[in-house]
A and B are shown apart, each in its own frame.
Chain A
Amino acid sequence: MSSEVVPPSTLLPDVSSSPRALRSYLHGLPGVDAVGLEARAAALGTRSIKTTAKAYAIDLAISMIDLTTLEGADTAGKVRALCAKGVRPDPADRSVPPVAAICVYGDMVAVAKEAVAAAGGTDVHVAAVATAFPSGRAARSVKLADTAEAVAAGADEIDMVIDRGAFLSGRYLDVFEEIQAVKAACTREDGSRAHLKVIFENGELSTYDNIRRCSWLAMLAGADFIKTSTGKVGVNATPANTLVMLEAVRDFRRATGVQIGVKPAGGIRTAKDAVKYLVMVNETLGDDWLSPEWFRFGASSLLNDLLMQRQKLSTGRYSGPDYVTVD
């Protein structure tokens, strides 16, 4: 993926010039009415996606998955199995596209790179969570080292978490600068750069207004992707909080010409859910975002449900868990 993000200073030069300037910019964004937002997300969720549209959506969703394992119990064996699954989701059906990326902790990056390559997944990326994921509570030097090591190990993408404590206490510029610093740490020796996804942890930001502000903050600081959540707290991606972020990337491109990706993560388990998200992308952002380059699902169990639905569509029979692999 290219790193075409223009330095934020050239986008909106004054915004990050001082804590006060950033604060007043973010607080000057239009508010979000929670009830109206949720009603819109729910209404889009009633779209009826059938036959050809469903087939398209299922394959698109598969190709957008960041197939994820982020457990304390992760081992090389587990990661290898996941990589094989990501590269070839349905061993019985070669027409199934590979997922977009395998998402692991930093220490598993090397294993994952090797396993993906071994499975022949030339297009499947390896993403690493970094910056003291999931809490983000560590010294900045630790977070930067965390990032740099994952990049050095070959990570194509870095999923960082923001300092929610700083955000909630109003220290927006600290968050902004940390994102910039992590982005700098994403640069490889050859000058190329790992793709940076910035995780907000929407459940902790708590309000839609905060999510919109955080979206703009992250985009201005240079995020390539904005991501809803770690999957480790009570509230993860929801249609409504993802919709706020979709609106933010839409408005950001209108304001700056720069396109940013969105990744809802956590809690998206069924094909039906995934299709609802794709409908939101389709009707909020349109064709330009309907590719793995600009939209991802952070998920693990979602893939198997998509595969079962895919089998149902192609055979006309309902499938079952014995007909998809457990990895």
Chain B
Amino acid sequence: MAHQKFAYAPAPESRAIVDLAPSYGLFIDGEFAEAADGRVFKSVSPSSEEVLAEVARAGEADVDRAVRAARKAFGTWSALPGAERGKYLFRIARILQERSRELAVLESLDNGKPIRETRDVDLPLVAAHFFYYAGWADKLAYAGYGPDPRPLGVAGQVIPWNFPLLMLAWKIAPALAAGNTVVLKPAETTPLSALFFADVCRQAGLPRGVVNILTGYGDAGAALVAHEGVDKVAFTGSTEVGKAIARTVAGTGKKVTLELGGKAANIVFDDAPIDQAVEGIVNGIFFNQGHVCCAGSRLLVQESVQDEVLDALKRRMETLRVGDPLDKNTDIGAINSAEQLARITALAEAGEAEGAERWAPACELPESGYWFAPTLFTGVTQAHRIAREEIFGPVLSVLTFRTPAEAVEKANNTPYGLSAGIWTEKGSRILSMASKLRAGVVWANTFNKFDPTSPFGGYKESGYGREGGRHGLEAYLAAADVPAGGRGHGEGEGDR
């Protein structure tokens, strides 16, 4: 962009605010400890490939120790008056606000996402989530799950790398508010913010064992899910792993909620507010490098406005700034890992091989780190892999439709059902489309909006259960009218 008249000078956020130790242990029973077998792994900044820190790699013995610590803490924690539990959560929310700049920089370093997003989206939502559920802790009897809803026990929680701290908040806040204790495993490529959260718990004076953090790989997650001391499993990640978890817990008494993949249709009608629709399309697929389970990865545009929308979209994509995640003007940061980059690259190549037309704006990508330019495929049909498989990267597949019925049919023609977008100025069409789309979240004339009060979760193979709002409590409470053994995992709604 140097050839432009008004070229923005680098505006890097200082990383001095983050004090990274060379190595970190597992956070078990209120203390950091090495893994039982001493194994470690490195967390790498995806924008520079620099090693940020060495982190303990949890194994089965560590899982067992953490679950036992959580079990031990459960008795006192669940017996605390709700108001007291709530006060701990309020403290955590406030400390997160105080340390939000530090955590935003850390998250951008470890994840590769732009500071603009960690600063303006992730961290405010993280604090808000704790603040919201803090208030529920002493009001559970009014949540609609019976007069005396009980916590489940120890929650084993496995979270992904795309929103490390936000997913932690989605998991831990309702669990603690409801009186459960947790063992949480962050993703292996983004372990650091969860470890900093452990320090937030220390500052808040949270009793030991209530929150335990196990950094590690999929084997640790699998061991956690399978551990017999775990009463509740919550997972956000791929549909493939979600299915494996559902198999693991079959026949046990563990309650499960799963928030999995998606292939959302973002549907643009010819009477849409075009400029805002283009913003919504861009936000829908390029927000967080497209590493978003609810990303609007399939653009369904009405044929009569296809050219207009695509021209506007390409023009807009040319203004996207790809680069240093810590630069305050960066719109698209680094791809989270080499593996993910390889997956995106392979699927994009499949798109070309299958005959779709590939387009990307001219943009210089940094030499080191993992990068993928924002990319658009036109001429895509429902039969293309790039229209069916979750790419989880900044790659948009454009399909067309002629009538609302065709749009619904194509939008729903997927095993997923997490989210969908509708763009039209006609109110009755919005409501009609919204009721026909098989998706847990429908954004009409907006996209990728999140709020602690708003339930989030999928239909079909996008998982079950909801996070956020009153509905999100259900995942962590034993409903009064379902006998203990009868806790299924299909209860996407509330039990009263």
Q: Contacts A30-B272, A36-B273, A40-B279 given: A52-B4 contact, CB under 8 Å?
A: no
- Which residue of B has the minimal Cβ distance to A44? B319
The answer to whether B120 and A37 touch across the interface, beta carbons within 8 angstroms, is: no
The answer to whether B446 and A31 touch across the interface, beta carbons within 8 angstroms, is: no
The answer to whether A282 and B6 touch across the interface, beta carbons within 8 angstroms, is: yes
Give every chain A residue within 8 A of B4 (Cβ-Cβ).
282, 286-287
Q: For the complex, count residues of A whose C-beta is within 8 A of B.
A: 30
Given the complex of chains A and B, what is the CA–CA distance between A36 and B11 in angstroms? 26
Q: Contacts A52-B9, A54-B9, A60-B6 given: A37-B116 contact, CB under 8 Å?
A: no
Which of B271, B276, B328 is in CB contact (< 8 Å) with A48?
B328
A11-43 vs B, Cβ < 8 Å mask (1 yes, 0 no): 000000000000000000011110111011000
Given the complex of chains A and B, what is the CA–CA distance between A279 and B321 in angstroms? 13
Chief secondary structure at chain B's binding surface: loop
B273, B275, B328 — which one has the most chain A CB atoms within 10 A of its CB?
B275
From residue A193, how far is it (CB to closest CB) to chain B in Å? 28
Given the complex of chains A and B, what is the CA–CA distance between A33 and B120 in angstroms? 22
Q: Can you pick out 22 interface pairs between chain A and chain B where the beta carbons lie within 8 Å of each other? A: A30-B272, A31-B273, A32-B276, A33-B273, A33-B445, A36-B273, A36-B446, A37-B275, A37-B276, A46-B120, A48-B8, A48-B329, A49-B11, A50-B9, A53-B6, A53-B9, A56-B5, A56-B6, A60-B6, A283-B319, A286-B4, A290-B5
Which of A46, A247, A290 is in CB contact (< 8 Å) with B6?
A290
The answer to whether B8 and A47 touch across the interface, beta carbons within 8 angstroms, is: yes
B64 interface residue (CB < 8 Å to A)? no
From residue A291, how far is it (CB to closest CB) to chain B in Å? 9
Give every chain B residue within 8 A of A30 (Cβ-Cβ).
271-275, 425
From residue B333, how far is it (CB to closest CB) to chain A in Å? 15
Mark out the residues of chain A between 283 and 327 whose CB falls within 8 Å of any chain B CB in the assembled complex. 283, 286-287, 290
Give every chain B residue within 8 A of A47 (Cβ-Cβ).
8, 328-329
A-side residues, CB < 8 A to B, are: 30-33, 35-37, 39-40, 46-54, 56-57, 60, 247, 254, 278-279, 282-283, 286-287, 290
From residue A86, how far is it (CB to closest CB) to chain B in Å? 23
Size bracket of the B interface: 20 to 34
A48, A54, A56 — which one has the most chain B CB atoms within 10 A of its CB?
A48
From residue A41, how far is it (CB to closest CB) to chain B in Å? 11
Given the complex of chains A and B, what is the CA–CA distance between A52 and B2 in angstroms? 12
Q: Which 3 A-B pairs have the closest CB atoms?
A: A36-B276, A48-B11, A48-B328
- Which residue of A has the minimal Cβ distance to B4? A287
The answer to whether A32 and B5 touch across the interface, beta carbons within 8 angstroms, is: no
B21 interface residue (CB < 8 Å to A)? no
B6, B11, B120, B273 — which one has the most chain A CB atoms within 10 A of its CB?
B6
The answer to whether B329 and A31 touch across the interface, beta carbons within 8 angstroms, is: no
B9, B120, B319, B445 — which one has the most chain A CB atoms within 10 A of its CB?
B9
Give every chain A residue within 8 A of B6 (Cβ-Cβ).
53, 56-57, 60, 278-279, 282, 287, 290
From residue A282, how far is it (CB to closest CB) to chain B in Å? 4
B417 interface residue (CB < 8 Å to A)? no
Given the complex of chains A and B, what is the CA–CA distance between A57 and B275 in angstroms? 26
B79 interface residue (CB < 8 Å to A)? no
Which of A32, A254, A282, A287 is in CB contact (< 8 Å) with B273?
A32
Given the complex of chains A and B, what is the CA–CA distance between A51 and B329 in angstroms? 14
From residue A248, how far is it (CB to closest CB) to chain B in Å? 10
Given the complex of chains A and B, what is the CA–CA distance between A105 and B468 in angstroms? 58
From residue A63, how far is it (CB to closest CB) to chain B in Å? 13
Mark out the residues of chain B between 366 and 403 whose CB falls within 8 Å of any chain A CB in the assembled complex. none
Mark out the residues of chain B between 270 and 329 whose CB falls within 8 Å of any chain A CB in the assembled complex. 271-276, 279-280, 311, 319, 328-329
Mark out the residues of chain B between 318 and 358 whose CB falls within 8 Å of any chain A CB in the assembled complex. 319, 328-329
Given the complex of chains A and B, what is the CA–CA distance between A282 and B7 in angstroms? 9
- Which residue of A has the minimal Cβ distance to B282? A40
The answer to whether A50 and B11 touch across the interface, beta carbons within 8 angstroms, is: yes
Given the complex of chains A and B, what is the CA–CA distance between A279 and B236 in angstroms? 38
Mark out the residues of chain B between 1 and 39 whose CB falls within 8 Å of any chain A CB in the assembled complex. 4-11
B43-81 vs A, Cβ < 8 Å mask (1 yes, 0 no): 000000000000000000000000000000000000000
Give every chain B residue within 8 A of A39 (Cβ-Cβ).
279
Given the complex of chains A and B, what is the CA–CA distance between A283 and B5 in angstroms? 12
The answer to whether B276 and A53 touch across the interface, beta carbons within 8 angstroms, is: no
Besides the known contacts A36-B279, A47-B8, 13 further A-B residue pairs in the complex with CB atoms under 8 A apart: A32-B276, A35-B446, A36-B445, A46-B116, A48-B329, A50-B11, A247-B275, A279-B6, A282-B5, A283-B319, A286-B4, A287-B4, A290-B6
From residue B321, how far is it (CB to closest CB) to chain A in Å? 9
- Which residue of B has the minimal Cβ distance to A284? B319
Give every chain A residue within 8 A of B9 (Cβ-Cβ).
49-54
- Which residue of B has the minimal Cβ distance to A290? B5
- Which residue of A has the minimal Cβ distance to B6? A282
Give every chain B residue within 8 A of A53 (Cβ-Cβ).
6-9
The answer to whether A36 and B116 touch across the interface, beta carbons within 8 angstroms, is: no
The answer to whether A33 and B11 touch across the interface, beta carbons within 8 angstroms, is: no
Given the complex of chains A and B, what is the CA–CA distance between A8 and B318 in angstroms? 31
- Which residue of A has the minimal Cβ distance to B7? A53
The answer to whether B116 and A31 touch across the interface, beta carbons within 8 angstroms, is: no
Give every chain B residue within 8 A of A46 (Cβ-Cβ).
116, 120, 328
Given the complex of chains A and B, what is the CA–CA distance between A282 and B5 in angstroms? 9
B256-282 vs A, Cβ < 8 Å mask (1 yes, 0 no): 000000000000000111111001100
The answer to whether B329 and A33 touch across the interface, beta carbons within 8 angstroms, is: no
Give every chain B residue within 8 A of A50 (Cβ-Cβ).
8-11
Given the complex of chains A and B, what is the CA–CA distance between A39 and B328 in angstroms? 17
A33, A35, A53, A278 — which one has the most chain B CB atoms within 10 A of its CB?
A33
- Which residue of B has the minimal Cβ distance to A55? B9
- Which residue of A has the minimal Cβ distance to B446? A36
Give every chain A residue within 8 A of B280 (Cβ-Cβ).
36
From residue B58, how far is it (CB to closest CB) to chain A in Å? 38
The answer to whether A32 and B275 touch across the interface, beta carbons within 8 angstroms, is: yes
Give every chain A residue within 8 A of B274 (Cβ-Cβ).
30
